[in-house]
Amino acid sequence: MRIVLHIWRQKNGRSSGKMVRYELPDINSHMSFLEMLDVLNERLIEKGEDPVAFDHDCREGICGMCGFVINGTAHGPVRGTTVCQLHMRHFQDGEELYLEPWRAKAFPVIKDLMVDRGAFDRIIAAGGYVSVSTGSAPDGNAIPIPKDNAELSMDAAACIACGACVAACPNASAALFTAAKISHLALLPQGEPERHQRSLRMVAQANTEGFGACSNVGECEAVCPKKITLENIARMFRDYIGASWTRRPAGASRG
């Protein structure tokens, strides 16, 4: 099959970028999207040109590394998949595809389709953990957990931090990511002692990083490859508002 690509090329974060057209006349429809880009890069290297930079690692939809916008949709047209799980059979022969990096102030472009998602790491470092004494692993059934809570926690923990929610949101909000990381701990007994401090610290860090506010548009849920729901955002805001009335992070100003 023949595919025409228009790819955002940008040398680094300090330079300006532009769309560059490439034509691939003989792509196998069974290829994954990233395999198709591998073919393009091999041909560019053979011609002495700079290959297209894009993030990838496991290529199994697990690590959250890969991700960019395809024809205006984060991760492309198939719901519940990452770019690495997307195959060329989902596109038409002769179709033109426009590839761009995640667009957000908090995700500066490193090169081409690669962005710096270190802001997510700093949100996690602000409170996305449980502080416990080290020791031997406890028995798996030592702490009773309601089945509904366990399932909701696992659903939230499925977030792979790919950044599609930010790219799809018109406000470039990280609410879905932050909420998923807060929810999967808040729903479990192990996360309860730090529940209020966690919500305050992680939401504050998201604001510090320059992510926008959530306005419940729902685009984040629509493009999430793990189908994280808006219910998690509601839970995060409940925790945050409740904590704001009763607690503040250590050292925070009281006005």
User: What's the pLDDT score for residue 254?
Assistant: 45
- Categorize the per-residue pLDDT at 241 as very low, low, confident or very high, splitting at 50, 70 and 90: very high
- Categorize the per-residue pLDDT at 89 as very low, low, confident or very high, splitting at 50, 70 and 90: very high
Q: Which of 159-168, 191-200, 223-232 has the lowest mean pLDDT?
A: 191-200
Q: What is the CATH number of the domain that holds 76?
A: 3.10.20.30
Reply yes or no on whether the pLDDT at 248 is more than 70.
no
User: Does 69 lie in the same domain as 150?
Assistant: no
Q: What is the signed CA dihedral for 184, 185, 189, 190, rounded to 10 degrees?
A: 140
User: Does 137 lie in the same domain as 101?
Assistant: no
Rg of the chain over all Cα atoms, to the nearest angstrom:
21
- The string of pLDDT tens digits covering residues 180-189 is 999 999 999 8
If one counts the domains in the chain, the total is 2
How many other C-beta atoms can be found within 10 angstroms of the C-beta atom of residue 138? 10
Pair 61, 74: CB distance under 8 Å: no
Q: Which of 110, 145, 170 is the last residue of a domain?
A: 110
- The string of pLDDT tens digits covering residues 92-104 is 999 999 999 999 9
Work out the average pLDDT over 35-57: 97
Spatial separation of the C-alpha atoms in residues 236 and 216, rounded to whole Å: 13
pTM over cut 0.75:
yes
Spatial separation of the C-alpha atoms in residues 83 and 62, rounded to whole Å: 11
Pair 5, 20: CB distance under 8 Å: no
User: Does 105 lie in the same domain as 84?
Assistant: yes
User: What's the pLDDT score for residue 250?
Assistant: 54
User: Does 129 lie in the same domain as 91?
Assistant: no
Angle at alpha carbon of residue 194, lines to 125 and 236, rounded to 5°: 75
